[in-house]
Amino acid sequence: MKILSAKQLSEADKYSIQKENITSVELMERAATLVFEEIHKRLQGAPIPIKIFCGIGNNGGDGLVIARHLIQHGYEVTTYVVNYSDKRSEDFLTNYEKLKDITNNWPQLIKNEDSFPDIQTGDFVIDAMFGIGLNRPLENWVGKLVEYINASQAFTLAIDMPSGLFTDKGPEKNSAIIEADYTLSFQAPKLVFFLPETMDYIGELQLLDIGLDREFLAKLESDIYLIGKEEAASLYKTRKKNSHKGDYGRVLIAGGSYGKMGSVQLTAKAALRAGTGLCSLYIPKIGYQIIQTALPEAMVITDNEEDLITSIPADFDADVFCFGMGAGTDRKTVTAFRQFLSEVKTPILVDADGINILSENKDMLDLLPEGSVLTPHPGELKRLIGEWKDNFEKLEKTRELSEKYKVIVVIKGAHTFIVNGKEVFINTSGNPGMATAGSGDVLSGIITSLMGQQYNNVAAAVLGVYLHGASGDIAVRELGYESLLAGDIADHIGRAIMELFNGESIDKR
Ligand SMILES: NC(=O)C1=CN([C@@H]2O[C@H](COP(=O)(O)OP(=O)(O)OC[C@H]3O[C@@H](n4cnc5c(N)ncnc54)[C@H](O)[C@@H]3O)[C@@H](O)[C@H]2O)[C@@H](O)CC1
Ligand SMILES: [K+]
């Protein structure tokens, strides 16, 4: 699904209004009625005090429509107009009159701090103050009102977006933003819903299809895509009956050091679980028995050194290489990686200490084969691209790195971002149980495995990240967040692949 900008969304509104020959107030009625239906479905007429805070633009207009429907269905509603200016939008005014027509309980004006209403923790607050039209931070008493609502701890539903949050840029420091428990957003997801510094304001997210013109939406250009099950399933390649292990990739995973053999073991296990035909590990001598015992399906080659890697065989017959997990950053390992990079021809996946080595030796970035994949967590990314002022800048800097070195960068996080030049894919699977040691090693194994199975490298990264999250989601149903181990993620990859197709066996030949 495409992520659209505020400008594109209002263009889509305008186009749909023209094409369908409806008025903008009719579109507002449609959108806000959908919100009302969602609320009504959940509250079922419960006598909870509902307090609706309306701005004076079209987000406020939505609020007035919602208020009207709720009142007509017998709910206990108080409507407030946050009257920060007298420039009310036309559609706001139309719905203001409509609301007055059906109730004597007219909206109350809030004009300053003295007119803030009482809000109890048990109230149900609807935030319809600002949506995609916000163009500067909320200031003065409007900002204070937002903080006052947040402090009430009342359940807060944001309409389209939490007030105070911009659609296409990061918030200014200490600005007032509604901390929503739930956000009902119109038509398309907005980028800020998925960025680490702003995602917490959204609470739970639900998108409402307000029926904007499909053709127009399809033609809108966006480089940013949200990846869910449907998108992931479309990338999956079915297996041919007439095939053998050589068709599913020869993988070489190089890494590990004294005390860190578990990392490569997890990567190799994940690669095998994700379908790799032949999986070999290149490790220091110390790991030989460990790996051969823990993972009999893998083959093992050892370095001459006991505790760390001092060479990596670039001439090994592999479709894809993976380097970095548990490898350490000893001088000898750095030299080995540099030598390997100067010889290797196929794209590689670089993780963990591999990335740390690249950060300390930036000239080595030039040696990366085109289409290689880097999988940093935010700390590793910072070492690679430097500090950023907000997540928009982080994304821009990552795009520059990706374009300059022609590599795919996977920024790991609650929502993992896959950056391929200008293109950005945002993953939606996964859960906080996966914030556990070794989780990243498993991800590297899955992506490497798919690269070896002849997925193009971008598809391998996108599908790999999705499957990693989906495996975690399945595992957590059995184990709970706290008990989930990285190895459990690896063990559920098969189920995650099956669930791409609703758990049916994948026999579509
Ligand atoms: N255009 C349409 O047809 C539809 C619009 N919809 C709603 O309309 C919203 C967008 O409405 P608007 O464009 O009127 O904008 P908003 O209602 O989001 O904002 C209201 C106005 O406040 C002013 N403003 C911005 N930042 C401010 C600040 N910090 N302090 C004081 N004033 C500020 C701006 O002039 C802006 O136009 C969407 O988020 C959505 O909720 C929906 O009804 C669906 C259909
Ligand atoms: K809002």
Does residue 16 belong to any structural domain of this protein? yes
- 3 state SS of 500: coil
User: What are the start-end ranges of the H helices in 44-169?
Assistant: 58-72, 90-102, 140-152
> What is the interface pTM, i.e. ipTM, of the complex?
0.95
- Residues 108 and 80: beta-carbon distance below 8 Å: yes
Span 370-420, pLDDT tens digits: 999 999 999 999 999 999 999 999 999 999 999 999 999 999 999 999 999
pLDDT, position 213 = 94
Residues 178 and 261 in one domain: no
Structure token digits, residue 162: 């939490």
Q: Which residues of the chain have pLDDT under 70?
A: 503-509
Contact present, 439 and 445 (Cβ < 8 Å): no
Q: Which residue owns the Cα nearest ligand 1 atom 40?
A: 59
CATH number at residue 172: 3.40.50.10260
Protein residue closest via CA to atom 11 of ligand 1: 58
**In the prediction, which pLDDT does 336 show?**
98
- Please tell me the total count of domains within the chain: 2
pTM exceeds 0.90 for this model: yes
Ligand number nearest to the C-alpha of 178: 2
The answer to whether position 505 is within a domain reads no
**Can you give the residue range of the structural domain that contains 368?**
232-499
Ligand 2 midpoint to CA 207 (Å) = 14
pLDDT at 504: 55
Q: Tell me the ligand closest to 61's alpha carbon.
A: 1
The answer to whether residues 98 and 190 belong to one domain is: yes
My answer on whether 413 and 290 are in the same domain is yes
User: Which ligand lies nearest to the CA atom of residue 161 in the structure?
Assistant: 2
Ligand 1: nearest atom to the Cα of 60 = 17
Q: Starting from the edge strand earliest in sequence, which strands make up the sheet with 348-350, in order?
A: 224-227, 423-427, 417-420, 408-411, 373-374, 348-350, 320-323, 250-254, 278-283, 299-302
245 with 212, same domain: the answer is no
For residue 159, the SS3 value is: strand
Same domain, 193 and 243: no
Task: Note whether 248 and 114 are same-domain residues.
Answer: no
Rounded-to-integer distance, Cα 410 and Cα 316, Å: 26
Q: Locate the ligand 1 atom nearest the alpha carbon of residue 24 and give its number.
A: 3
Strand 417-420 with 408-411, pairing: antiparallel
**pLDDT at site 241:** 84
Distance from C-alpha of 306 to C-alpha of 322, rounded to nearest angstrom: 20
Asked if residue 264 lies in contact with residue 331, where contact means CB atoms within 8 angstroms, the answer is no
Q: Last residue of a domain, which of 169, 195, 221?
A: 221
**CA of 57 relative to ligand 1 center, distance in Å:** 5
pLDDT tens-place string over residues 133-166 = 999 999 999 999 999 999 999 999 999 999 999 9
How many angstroms separate the alpha carbon of residue 31 from the centre of ligand 1?
A: 14
**Cα–ligand 2 centroid distance for 133 (angstroms):** 10
Ligand 2 center to 122 CA (angstroms): 20
Q: Whose CA is nearest to atom 4 of ligand 1?
A: 28
Asked which of 189, 221, 253 is the last residue of a domain, the reply is 221
Atom of ligand 1 nearest to the CA of 210: 44
303 in the same domain as 217: no
The answer on 181 and 65 residing in a single domain is yes
Question: What is the Cα gyration radius of the chain?
Answer: 26
Ligand 1, CB within 6 Å, residue ranges: 10, 13, 24, 27-28, 31, 55, 57-60, 62, 84-85, 89, 130-138, 159-160, 186, 210
* Most informative mutation of 4, 11, 134, 207 for ligand 1 (most atoms within 8 A of CB): 134
Model pLDDT, residue 237: 93
Q: Identify whether 1 is part of a domain.
A: no
Instruction: For residue 421, give the nearest of 458, 388, 447 by alpha carbon.
Output: 458
* Ligand 1 center from residue 64 Cα (angstroms): 13
Residues 287 and 311 in one domain: yes
Ligand nearest to the CA of 186: 1
- The domain that holds 260 is classified in CATH as 3.40.1190.20
**Residues in the chain, how many?**
509
Alpha helices in 320-366 (DSSP H): 331-343, 353-360
The verdict on 325 and 423 lying in the same domain is yes
296 three-class SS: coil
Burial 476-508 (b: 16+ CB within 10 A, else e): beeeeeeebbbbbbbbbbeebbebbeeeeeeee
Residues 365/405, Cβ–Cβ less than 8 Å: yes
- Assign residue 92 a region (left: φ > 0; alpha: ψ between -120 and 50; beta: otherwise): alpha
Nearest CA, atom 24, ligand 1? 134
Structural element, H or E, at residue 254: strand 250-254
Distance (angstroms) between ligand 2 centre and the Cα of 56 equals 11
Whether residue 191 is found in the same domain as residue 280: no
Beta strand residue intervals within 385-507, DSSP E: 408-411, 417-420, 423-427
